[in-house]
Homo-oligomer: A and B are copies of this chain.
Amino acid sequence: MATRARRTQRRRQVLSREQIIDTAIELLDAGGAGGLTVRALTERLATGSGAIYYHVGTRDELLDTATETVIAAALATEPARAPATPENEIRVVALGLFDAIAEHQWLATRLAVQLTRNPWGPVTVGIFEKIGRQVRALGVPQAVWFVAASTLVHYILGAVSQTRIDGYTSGVETDEDREKFLEAASMAWQELDPADYPFMHAISGQMREHDDREQFLAGIALILDGITNLR
């Protein structure tokens, strides 16, 4: 029963690393990357700026940590409804990331920043490992594991970074907003000079009736098909 205050440790610690990270994510969700300032953090947590640096380091390091936290959570959730084929598992991972970005819009940009700066950091490694295992389960020869996995990962990260929900207003997205956005994009395409942009013009119609999620999965299916052809 030595559980009583060991030594005369003053035990004033009232601020935790986790608490700071959670608050940071809240600020990011509410105001994007610009919403996370050291001052906003200290205000919300009723503390001084030094405390932040003591617990989590630089603002940039905090941003890294926040990203890793959210991604790890996204990779950890396992719905496991559909039969557990490798193809389905890959889809689950991909959609998990997709949804994480829909929920935390700042992730799209920050993910890109982070991958550029440190391509083989914990984020990529985590995603790569999850995808890679399923690639192996697909039964393709070991010699092509790397190409197969990296093509999938690159596609997923590329697609997911470019899937924006609502950039500026940084709030909840209504279906109306979304429709207006697609409408506007589709119209912008049609206004392009058909002589200069024949292709864009030709497919502008497919824009209005286009579902991001569905399109995203169609791309994965296409790549999976290419992979199994490697066998």
Residues of A within 8 A of B (CB): 108-109, 112-113, 115-120, 124-125, 128-129, 132-133, 135-136, 142, 145-151, 153-159, 161-164, 167-168, 185, 188-189, 192, 196-200, 202-203, 206, 210, 215, 218-219, 222-227, 229-230
CB distance from A29 to the nearest CB of B (A): 16
A185 to B146, CA, bound (A): 15
List of B residues within 8 angstroms of A161 by Cβ: 112, 115-116, 157-158, 161
- Contacting residues, chain B, for A223 (C-beta < 8 A): 151, 155, 222-223, 226
Q: Which of B118, B132, B203, B206 contacts A203 (CB 8 A)?
A: B132
CB distance from A201 to the nearest CB of B (A): 9
- Choose from B128, B146, B197, B219 the contact partner of A210 (Cβ within 8 Å): B146
Complex Cα spacing A124 to B189, Å: 12
Q: Is the CB of B125 within 8 A of A116?
A: no
Using Cβ atoms and an 8 Å threshold, which residues of chain B touch A200? 125, 128-129, 132
User: Which chain B residue has the least Cβ–Cβ distance from A125?
Assistant: B200
A225 and B148 alpha carbons, distance in the complex (Å):
13
- A222/B227 contact (C-beta < 8 A), A129-B200, A161-B161, A198-B133 known: yes
11 contacts between A and B (CB under 8 A): A109-B112, A120-B188, A129-B196, A133-B198, A149-B199, A150-B215, A151-B219, A223-B226, A225-B225, A226-B229, A229-B229
